[in-house]
Amino acid sequence: MLRHEVVVVGAGLAGQRAALAAVEAGKDVALVSKLHPLRSHSGAAQGGINAAVGKEDSVDTHIYDTVKGSDYLGDQDAIEFFCREAGPTVVEMEHFGTIFSRSADGSLARRPFGGAGFPRTIYAADRTGLALLQALYERLGTEKFTMYEEWDLTSIIAREGRAQGIVAFDRRHGNFEQIAAPSVVIATGPTGRIYGRTTNAHSCTGDGIAAAYRAGAFLKDMEFVQFHPTALLESGILITEGARGEGGILKNASGERFMSRYAPHVLELASRDVVSRAIFTEALEGRAFPGGYVHLELMHLGRERIESRLQEICDFCRTFAGIDPVTQPIPVSPAQHYMMGGIGTNSQGETNIPGLFAAGEAACVSIHGANRLGGNSLLETLVFGKQAGIAAAAHAGTAPSPALRPADLDNEVAHIRAMSDRGDGVGPETLRTGMQETMDTLVGIYRTPDELTEALRRVRELKTRYASVRVVDQSKVYNINLTDALETGHMLDLAEVIVVGAIARTESRGAHTRRDFPRRDDVNWMKHTMARNTPDGPELTYTPVAYTRWEPKERVY
């Protein structure tokens, strides 16, 4: 059995920042990751990181824009803390070595993003996440900690009312291991691969969220799933909001700049839920191109601006679509992109289980409410990753020693080895495909009661079939078939939570749009959904939204 004071699961921006904070607090820290840290999905973030650093901007405006963008479901005390930490966080990352793009006067370059009152999105061309990840990785590398790379989290052990540690599978050696720790931080990122059309990496399977849910943690607001308006047509590769921030425009099959119908004041720079619904509506009403896509035009910006500020987008379009965005429009349509929901936490990353913390997209503080503004996610990983690391270190200093048992490991191994011992059964790839097709077709941008009911039936049927899932590959090391089976089980649990929450929320708010309840209902639904795991499925309760200064009002773009 391995022992550490703090174990952080996930090595993207949130996990690395939590680990750094805990190391700086003098704790023995382990960082567990299914990937090399520089392959973490944080590196896929393109457009930028928000901070009110310009003279014409203000922290209060950033706070208000985030509250409004959340469709007033974000907790305003958490949002205020978050936005006030933005400037110092960006400065800290610059001191760590992040090479941000600069304006002509040498100041940090900023671009406008959807839903923002001012251009406050600081960027490194269109590779901002990767620039931040590389800088933080280099900074963390100067400290002493233990790295467990290519380990799959299988469970969180919670006993006696607190976290005791984790069980994980070491792919390289084919062993299951226990790691005892009084503080466990979950920073495993999102679960976007529940959907087939998604901008998320193949590693985004919600492992930490599902493990926390099974251990007794509440999941918060899981029904709110963000669809990014502009994903490359065939591949689903993200085309950053920065493309619209630089002046890109959307046109339908008739050559019409259709956003004037939906957001006449800000056009393409409306919040993501508004733009995604607009594109989907254009397709439903027959004004999109065959297949339901529209064009994103950058040509009018000129070659120098496009190739200097949107380098990665140029590479993606040329490589994966055979299109040169300097001279041709980009075919785009919405794709699943972000989960507003996650493990319920406060601003210090604490969950309802003492000793269990969460940060980044795996967590729900909630600052994004029903809809996240672009540029706030990278900031979230760093602000709340740091807070979770500080809190985890403090808890480890006072908590009793963890008490894992041999049975914790034996039970996990027996359950998982049973998958390999079956003579017949269903392959995880079959279940995963069925789940993705269900979520794509029935739990999308627009939702109906009949479709959601059918989605729940299908997901529960898939969960039943998962009980006989079979791992064909008998390899001891690098058994990706086993990893696929583990991930599929995690995603099926979370898909069920998403659908149950969506059925229950009888209103339209942010990214959750019900055709039978097209209006926002502040009287009955100004509250957070909290899901707890039971043998019969998710049990829902609700908690109030925290207010400070802004009462709900209609969003106008």
Q: What angle do CA 535, 539, 542 make, to 5 degrees?
A: 160
Q: Is 244 a catalytic residue?
A: yes
Q: Rounded CA gap, 331 and 321, in Å? A: 9
Q: Which two tokens stand for residue 234?
A: 């065939």
pLDDT at 117: 87
DSSP state of 114: T
Q: How far is CA 4 from CA 146, 475, 495, in A?
A: 9, 30, 33
pTM (2 d.p.): 0.96
C-beta neighbour count of 386 within 10 angstroms? 22
Q: Rounded CA gap, 113 and 381, in Å? A: 18
Nearest CA-CA partner of 343 in 168, 227, 222: 222
Nearest CA-CA partner of 274 in 112, 114, 118: 114
Q: Rounded CA gap, 118 and 336, in Å? A: 26
Nearest CA-CA partner of 459 in 446, 445, 440: 440
Same fold for the domain at 229-335 and the one at 406-528?
A: no
pLDDT at 124: 94
pLDDT tens digits for 399-453? Answer: 999 989 999 999 889 988 899 999 889 999 999 999 999 999 999 999 999 999 9
C-beta neighbour count of 494 within 10 angstroms? 28
Q: Which two tokens stand for residue 408?
A: 């914790």
Note every long-range contact of 443-447, with CB atoms under 8 Å and residues 24 or more positions apart, other chains counting: 443/225, 443/495, 443/498, 443/499, 443/502, 444/227, 445/227, 445/276, 445/277, 445/280, 445/334, 445/511, 445/513, 446/277, 446/280, 446/513, 446/515, 447/502, 447/512, 447/513, 447/514, 447/515
Cβ neighbours of residue 142 under 8 Å, at least 6 residues apart? Answer: none
Torsion angles phi and psi, residue 540, rounded to 5 = -100, 135
Q: Is 372 a catalytic residue?
A: no
Set 139, 228, 458, 490: catalytic member = 228
Torsion angles phi and psi, residue 352, rounded to 5 = -75, -5
pLDDT at 182: 97
User: Which strands, in side-by-side order, build the sheet including 342-344?
Assistant: 363-364, 342-344, 219-220, 527-534, 537-544
The CATH number assigned to the domain with range 406-528 reads 1.20.58.100
pLDDT at 55: 81
CA quadruple 263, 266, 267, 273: dihedral sign = negative
pLDDT at 88: 97
pLDDT at 480: 93
Return the amino acid letter for 245. G
DSSP state of 100: -
Nearest CA-CA partner of 500 in 554, 443, 546: 443
Cβ neighbours of residue 153 under 8 Å, at least 6 residues apart? Answer: 9, 32, 34, 166, 167, 168, 188, 207, 208, 211
Q: Rounded CA gap, 203 and 81, in Å? A: 30
Domain residue spans of the chain: 229-335, 406-528
Q: Rounded CA gap, 254 and 424, in Å? A: 53
**Phi-psi bin for 339: left (phi > 0), alpha (psi -120 to 50), beta?**
beta
pLDDT tens digits for 30-73? Answer: 999 999 999 999 999 998 999 998 788 999 999 999 999 999 99
Cβ neighbours of residue 495 under 8 Å, at least 6 residues apart? Answer: 194, 435, 438, 439, 443, 459
Residue tagged 């795996």 (tokens) = 362
Set 17, 244, 505, 528: catalytic member = 244
Nearest CA-CA partner of 219 in 209, 234, 230, 227: 209
Q: Rounded CA gap, 99 and 96, in Å? A: 9
Helix (H) or strand (E) holding 155: strand 151-159
Cis previous bond, 155, omega within 30: no
- CATH class given for the domain over 229-335: alpha beta
In contact, 97 and 138? CB cutoff 8 Å: yes
Q: What is the full per-residue pLDDT of the chain (557 aa) written as tens digits?
A: 999 999 999 999 999 999 999 999 999 999 999 999 999 999 999 989 999 987 889 999 999 999 999 999 999 999 999 999 999 999 999 999 999 999 999 999 999 988 888 899 999 999 999 999 999 999 999 999 999 999 999 999 999 999 999 999 999 999 999 999 999 999 999 999 999 999 999 999 999 999 999 999 999 999 999 999 999 998 899 999 989 999 999 999 999 999 999 999 999 999 999 999 999 999 999 999 999 999 999 999 999 999 999 999 999 999 999 999 999 999 999 999 999 999 999 999 999 999 999 999 999 999 999 999 999 999 999 999 999 999 999 999 999 999 899 999 998 899 888 999 998 899 999 999 999 999 999 999 999 999 999 999 999 999 999 999 999 999 999 999 999 999 999 999 999 999 999 999 999 999 999 999 999 999 999 999 999 999 999 999 999 999 999 989 888 77
Helix (H) or strand (E) holding 364: strand 363-364
Q: 469 by DSSP, 3-state: which?
A: strand
Q: How far is CA 479 from CA 126, 150, 219, 471, in A?
A: 35, 11, 30, 9
